[in-house]
Amino acid sequence: MRLDYLTIFPDYLDPLQLSLPGKAIEKGLLELHVHDLRQWTHDRHHTVDDTPYGGGAGMVMKPEPFGEAFEALALGEGEGEATILFTTPSGEPLTQSLARELSTRERLVFACGRYEGIDQRVLDHAGTLGEVREISLGDYVLNGGEVAALAITEAVVRLLPGFMGNAASLVEESHEDGLLEYPVYTKPATWRDREVPAVLLSGDHGRIAAWRHEQALRRTAERRPDLIHASQGASEWEIVPAVRADAPELLTLQLACWVQEALDNDTLDIPALHESLDDVLAHLEAWDVYVVRAAGRLVGSVSGHAEGDLWSIGRLMVAPDQQGRGMGRALLAHIESVAAPATTTYGLFTGERSARNHRIYKKAGYRLRGDLAAAPGAVTLTKRRR
Ligand code: JBE
C-alpha cells in the first residue's frame, strides 16, 4: 500500500515514522510520502487560503495548490485508481468497518484541510481522478485534518495482511465483534486489596468466555447503547398468549425461521413459507398460539391444538439471532404444559433433514415415528405425556 499526505504542517505527521506505520515500512508492506502543500504555491507568501465567497468567518483553502499536487502525484493516470481521503468533521464517521474497507486499497491520498475547509471544486475534481471519501473522526472540531489522517492511518495499517502477528487478537478486540471490550487483568492476582475476578483464575474456559461476553454486553449497553440491538442484551423474556395484533410480526418471524428449514431440506415446498397475513390470522383462530417478546420484539412462538388424545405441536420458532438461549426449549415445555386435559401423546412434524430440530426434539424426549404419516420431506415425532 502506498500512502500520500498533502498538508501545510508536514511536521505534524512525523509520528508516521514511528510505531505501526514504521514497522510496516520495514516489512515492505507500506510506502509513505508526506508532502508540504505549499510547494505548489507560486507567490512570495506561499498562500494556501483565501476569504470565502458569499462572506462568513474564517478562510477557505484555495483549489490551485491541491490541483497541482494531484498532478504531481499522477492521480488519475496509469493503472489502479487512488482513494483520495478528505478529513473533515462533515465526513462519514471513521469506523472499524471503514478502516477494513480502506485496508483493501492499493493507494490512499490524504488531503488534510485547515481553516474552514477546502474549496468544494477540489473534491469535485478529485472525484474524476479516483475514489473520494470524506471521513470524520467524530463530532468535535479539531484545528485541521492531520490528526484524523494519523488516526485513519493507524486504524488501516494494522489491518494490512501480514502486519499483525496474531489474527485472533484482531478479531477479539473492541468493535470487531460489534461490542466494546470486556475488562482485562494481569498479575498479580491481588493488588492494593483489589482481587482479579475469581472466574478468570478458574481455568474453566467456558465460564470465562461467558463472563467476558456478559461484561462486554453490559459495558456496551451502559456506554454505547447505540451499538446494541434492542433485543440482543435483553436477558428478560416471557411467554405470553398471542393476540391478533401479533400476526404481522409472526408472519415475518415465520419467514425468517423457515428459510433456514428450506436451506436444510433443499426445498421451498414448505407451507409456512407461502402464507399470507390472512393465513396467519386463521392459524391464530384455530390453534393455541404463544409468543416470546424480548425488549418488545417478537422473537419466538409456538402453537398447539387438540386432536382427540393427541396434542399437536407446531410452528415452534425462535428468531435466528436469538437461538441458543434456551427459548426453543422453554417454548416446547410451555406448550406441553398447556396441553388439553385428555392428552396422552404430544406430536409434531419437522423437516426430514432439519438436523438442528431433530437434536432439540430428541433431547426433549421425542422419538421418530416412521410408522406415522407425514407430508413428503417431513417426519413425525411423538412423546408420551407423563
Ligand atoms: O474529524 N475530522 O476529520 C476533523 C477534521 C478537521 C477538523 N475537525 C475534525 N473533527
Ranges of CATH 3.40.630.30 domains, the chain: 237-384
Check residue 26 and give its pLDDT: 84
Candidate from 24-33, 124-133, 226-235, 348-357 with smallest mean pLDDT: 226-235
Query: Quick count: other Cβ atoms within 10 Å of Cβ 228?
Result: 17
Q: Is 368:352 a contact under the CB 8 Å cutoff?
A: no
Section 312-324 average pLDDT:
89
- For the cut 80, the answer to whether the pLDDT of residue 19 exceeds it is no
Q: How far is the CA of 373 from the centre of ligand 1 (A)?
A: 68
CA–CA separation, 324 and 157 (whole Å): 36
- For the cut 70, the answer to whether the pLDDT of residue 41 exceeds it is yes
Mean pLDDT is highest, among 195-199, 270-274, 292-296, for: 195-199
The DSSP bridge partners found for residue 310 are 307, 345
Q: Is the CB of 87 under 6 A from ligand 1?
A: yes
Q: Which three cell numbers mark 26? A: 520495514
Instruction: Identify which of 76, 3, 14, 64 has the alpha carbon closest to the alpha carbon of residue 39.
Output: 64
pLDDT in tens, 73-117: 999 998 889 999 999 999 999 999 899 999 999 999 999 998 789
Check residue 27 and give its pLDDT: 84
41 torsion bin: left (phi>0), alpha (psi -120 to 50), beta (else): beta
Q: Is 380:372 a contact under the CB 8 Å cutoff?
A: yes
CA–CA separation, 8 and 178 (whole Å): 36
CA–CA separation, 233 and 235 (whole Å): 6
Q: How far is the CA of 7 from the centre of ligand 1 (A)?
A: 14
Residues 136-147 as b or e (16 or more Cβ within 10 Å = b): bbeeeeeebbbb
Report the number of secondary-structure helices (H) and strands (E) in the chain.
11, 16
Residue listed under C-alpha cell 478458574 = 202
Candidate from 100-104, 241-245, 284-288, 326-330 with smallest mean pLDDT: 326-330
CA neighbours closer than 13 Å in the CB half-sphere of residue 9 = 14
pLDDT in tens, 194-224: 999 999 999 998 888 888 888 988 898 889 8
Section 33-43 average pLDDT:
97
Strand, coil or helix: 276: coil
- For the cut 50, the answer to whether the pLDDT of residue 172 exceeds it is no
Ranges of CATH 1.10.1270.20 domains, the chain: 177-228
Computed on alpha carbons and rounded to an integer, the radius of gyration of the chain in Å comes to: 30
Candidate from 4-13, 91-100, 122-131, 259-268 with smallest mean pLDDT: 259-268
* Substitution candidate for ligand 1 out of 137, 140, 143, 154 with most atoms within 8 A of CB: 137
Q: How far is the CA of 227 from the centre of ligand 1 (A)?
A: 23
Q: Is the CB of 67 under 6 A from ligand 1?
A: no
Alpha helix stretches (DSSP H) within the chain: 19-26, 63-72, 96-102, 120-126, 146-157, 167-172, 205-223, 247-265, 277-286, 327-337, 355-363
Residue 79: Cβ-neighbour burial (10 angstroms; 0-12, 13-18, 19+): exposed
Strand, coil or helix: 119: coil
Which homologous superfamily does the CATH classification assign to the domain defined by 2-165? SPOUT methyltransferase, trefoil knot domain (3.40.1280.10)
Ranges of CATH 3.40.1280.10 domains, the chain: 2-165
- For the cut 80, the answer to whether the pLDDT of residue 325 exceeds it is no
Q: Give percent above pLDDT 90 in the chain.
A: 65
CATH class of 237-384: alpha beta
Q: According to CATH, what is the number of the domain 177-228?
A: 1.10.1270.20
